[in-house]
Amino acid sequence: MFDTILTWLLLIKCVGALLCIIRVLLGPTHSDRIAALDTLGLMLIGFVGILMILQDTMAYTEVILVVAILAFIGSVALAKYLERGNLFDRD
């Protein structure tokens, strides 16, 4: 029963990720696209977490950490680029 619920959750996460990808491609502003990319990263983290529960393993813990760090750094870099127009300060 629990496996069935987790499988349905994976399908719901896939639909949510697909909607995020559509928002990234068709988003009216750059801020919407950045928010959708960040949400897509969170969806991926949840997807891998559910896979870890289904497979009863801790093997993907590093994958979750790397995806979380990359999503955070990517969001900060894109926000800085939108605010200032460049990523590197030449002081």
Give DSSP secondary structure letters for 30-66: HHHHHHHHHHHHHHHHHHHHHHHHHHT--TTHHHHHH
| CA atoms of 58 and 49, how far apart (whole Å) | 9
As a whole number, mean pLDDT of residues 55-81 equals 91
Q: Indicate the number of domains in the chain.
A: 1
pTM summary value: 0.83
Return the residue matching tokens 């529960």.
Answer: 53
Boundaries of domain holding 5: 1-90
Please write the tens of the pLDDT for every residue from 80-90: 888 877 767 67
